[in-house]
Chains A and B, each alone.
Chain A
Amino acid sequence: MKKDINTVAAIKLLISRLVVYGILIFLTFLCLFFFYLMFINASRSNAQLQAGFTMIPGGNTIKNFVNAWHDTNISIPVGMKNSFIVASLSAVLTSYFSALTAYGTYVYDFKYKKAVHLFILAIMMIPSQVSAVGFIQLAFKYHLTNKLWMLIIPSIAAPSVYFYMRQYLEATLPLEMVEAARIDGSNEFRIFNEIVLPIMKPAIAVQMIFSFVGSWNNYFMPSLLLNDLQKKTVPVMIATLRSADFTKFDMGKVYMLMVMAILPVMIIYVILSKSIIKGVTSGSVKG
C-alpha cells in the first residue's frame, strides 16, 4: 500500500516535470529559433534565400561579409562607431542621471516632491512619436541634424528608468546608511557617488543594458535626424541597404549586416549580466 502511494507520487512528479519542461523548451525555441535562422541566412546567397528556407547553413558566409563590408552605400565601421558612441553614452548618462534623480526624490524632503514625482511619471505616458514632431522641427530650425549628441542628450531624461531606479532605492537603500555617511562627514554628492551608486550597481547594469540595446536598435529618431553617411547608425544603414537598387538587392548581405549589428549587443549583455545576478546589498543591514 505504502509503495503504491510512492509510485503514484513519482509518476505525478514525472508528469508535472514533463509539462513544465515541455513549456520551457517551447519558449526557449521561440526565443532562439529566429537567431538561428538569422545566422543560417547570413551564410546563404541571395539565390538560395529566394528558393526558400532551410535549416542547413550555406557556404556564402565570407562572400556575404565581404559584400557587406565593401558596399558603397554604407560604411560598417563608421556605422558601428556611431552606434556605439550613441548607445554607450546614452546608456551611461541615462542610468547615472536617472539614479541621481531617483535618489533626490527618495532621500530628500522638499515641497511638491510628490508632484515632481508624478510629473516625471506622467511624461512616461506620452509616446515618443508625439514629441518627435516638435523635436524634429526644432532640430531642423536650428540646423542640429546630423549631430550625434542630438540623439544622446534627449535620451538622458528617461522617466521609466527613473521609476525603476526609484523602486530599487526604496527596496534596497536604508536611509540610515545615508545618515551614517553624513555623520562620517561625507557631503551629499559624495554620498551618492561613493555609497549609493555602488549599492545601485545591479539596477544600473539592468538599465544600462536596456538603454544600450534600445539605443542601438533605435531606428525611428536616427532615421529622421541623420542623413549624412558619416553620421548614420547601423539600423539606418541596414534600412539604406534594403531600400537600395532593387536589381542589386542581396538578402544574404542584409542578413550578414544584421548579424554584425546584434553581436555588440550580445557582448554587452554578457559583460553586464554578471552584476545583475550578483546582489550587493546583502549584509549592510540586518536582513
Chain B
Amino acid sequence: MAEVLLKNIKKIYTDNESRKKGRGKFRQQPKEGEEEKKVSLQITDEGVVAVQEFNLDIKDKEFIVLVGPSGCGKSTTLRMIAGLEEITSGELYIDGNLVNNVEPKDRDIAMVFQSYALYPHMTVYDNMAYSLKIKHVDKAEIDRKVREAAEILDITQYLDRKPKALSGGQRQRVAIGRAIVRNPKVLLMDEPLSNLDAKLRNQMRSEIIKLRKKINTTFVYVTHDQIEAMTLGDRIVVMKDGYIQQIGTPQEVFDHPANLFVSGFIGTPQMNYFDAELVIREGSYYVETKGISVKLAEDKQLRLKENDVKAQPVTLGVRPEHLTIAEEGINGQVEVSELMGSSLHLHMTVDGKDVICIVPTEGRKVNYDGKQLKLAFTGDVAHVFSREDQHNLEY
C-alpha cells in the first residue's frame, strides 16, 4: 500500500563487493550464456556498474515486473529497494519518504526469495509468525494473522510441519505467507517461481494473480521469464546491462517494442529479423526486403513522419505469428516443423538465416517438411529498427 519512487538510481559494485557477488553459490547455477552477459556489464575505474539511470514511479497497489536476462541488474534493483544492497547514488522513496539509508527492517517491506530461505528449524507456523514476534505483536493477534494468511494460501494443514517435510510448491507458499502475514507496504519477489517445475510454475502463477486480488499491496516482481512478466505485470520494466530498455504495459511492450532487444526478448518464439530498406514513395513509407515491398500501416506512417525518419537501411522485425504463407513473398525453405497442437511452428531458412513462422493447423495435417514456401506480412505488424543504434524508428 505504498508508492515507490526510484530516482536516477545507480549501483556500482566496488572491486571488493563484486568479488562477494561472485560468491553467490546459493543462487541458481548460471544459465547458458550468462557468463558473457555478465561480462558485458560496464566495468569502470570505480567498479562494476550493475544498475544505471534507473527512474521508475511505481504507483500504489501496482504490480511491477522487472524482467531481463540474467545479470541485467533487475535483482540488484530489487535488493536496493529492499535495503539489502547499498544505493551508490540516486534517491529511493517509499510512501514519499526518502529511505536510502533506512534499514530493511524499518522499510516495512517484505520479500520472497528464489530459494525460499525458510528457517529450517522452525515450523511453518513459526516461520510465518517470526516477523510478528519480533515486533512484539500480541499472541492472539499473531495467531489470527498467521491463520488468515495460511487460509489464503491454502497451507493451514501444514502449519505444524517443518519446511523439509514440504514439497517445493508448498515451501514457496510458506515463503509467500511469511511475506504477506505482516501486511507490508511493498511486497518484493525475486524470481519466486524459477525453482518450481513447469506445471507447478503455471499453477503458482495463477495463484499469484489471485493472491494479488486478495491482498492490496504494491508488488515488485523480478523474473527472467517473459511469460511471467506478460501475465502478471500491470507494467513491465525490461532491463539489459543495467539500463532500462522500456517501461510499459505488457500489451505496449509487445506491440511497440522500443528497440531490437525488447522485441527479441518479449514474445516466444522470438521475433524474426530481415535486412530491409525503408523507402519513401509518394510521401508514404515502405519496407522492401527480398524482392517484396510492403506499405506500412497508417499509424506507423504518422509516427515515422513525426520523427522525420529518412529513407535508410533498417532491420525489419516480424513476429512468427504474423508471418503468413502466401502466393507472393519471401522465399524460404522449411527445415523442421513442430506440431504444437493447435498450431504448427515452421523453422525455415531464408537466405541462410533462421526464420520461424506459426501457421494454424485447423485440424488438417499438412506436411511442410522440406517445402519451399513464400512468406508474407502486412504493414501493421512490421517493426522497423535502426541499423545504427537498434532503436525502433517509430519512437
Q: Is the CB of B165 within 8 A of A283?
A: yes
In the complex, chain B residues 143-171 whose Cβ is within 8 Å of any chain A Cβ: 162-166, 168, 171
Answer whether A182 and B105 are a contact pair too, CB < 8 Å, given A174-B26, A283-B164. Answer: yes
CB of A29, distance to nearest CB on chain B (Å): 39
Q: Is the CB of B164 within 8 A of A286?
A: no
Q: Is the CB of A184 within 8 A of B178?
A: yes
A195 to B163, CA, bound (A): 14
Q: A183 an interface residue at 8 Å Cβ cutoff?
A: yes
Q: A136 an interface residue at 8 Å Cβ cutoff?
A: no
In the complex, chain A residues 103-158 whose Cβ is within 8 Å of any chain B Cβ: 109
Q: Is the CB of B117 within 8 A of A179?
A: yes
Measured between beta carbons, the chain A residues less than 8 angstroms from B26 are: 174-176, 285
> Which of B119, B130, B195 has most chain A Cβ within 10 Å?
B119
Measured between beta carbons, the chain B residues less than 8 angstroms from A183 are: 82-84, 104-105, 109-111, 131
Minimum CB distance partner of B108 in chain A? A185
Answer whether A284 and B105 are a contact pair too, CB < 8 Å, given A109-B20, A180-B113, A185-B135. Answer: no
Q: A281 an interface residue at 8 Å Cβ cutoff?
A: yes
Q: A199 an interface residue at 8 Å Cβ cutoff?
A: yes
Q: Is the CB of B115 within 8 A of A199?
A: no
Other-chain residue from A185, A187, A199, A285 in contact with B121 (beta carbon distance below 8 A): A199
Q: Is the CB of B166 within 8 A of A283?
A: yes
A199 to B121, CA, bound (A): 7
Answer whether A184 and B130 are a contact pair too, CB < 8 Å, given A109-B17, A179-B84. Answer: yes
Q: A190 an interface residue at 8 Å Cβ cutoff?
A: yes
A32 to B131, CA, bound (A): 51
Q: Across chains A and B, which 9 residue pairs bring their CB atoms closest together, nearest first?
A: A283-B164, A284-B120, A184-B131, A185-B105, A198-B121, A176-B117, A285-B115, A180-B117, A174-B26
Binding site for B on A (CB under 8 A): 109, 174-177, 179-187, 190, 195, 198-199, 201, 280-286
- Give 22 CB contacts A-B under 8 Å: A109-B20, A174-B115, A175-B26, A176-B113, A176-B115, A180-B111, A180-B118, A182-B104, A183-B82, A183-B83, A183-B110, A185-B105, A185-B131, A186-B105, A187-B105, A198-B121, A282-B120, A283-B163, A283-B164, A284-B119, A284-B164, A285-B26
Binding site for A on B (CB under 8 A): 16-17, 20, 24, 26, 82-84, 103-105, 109-111, 113-121, 130-131, 134-135, 162-166, 168, 171, 178, 195
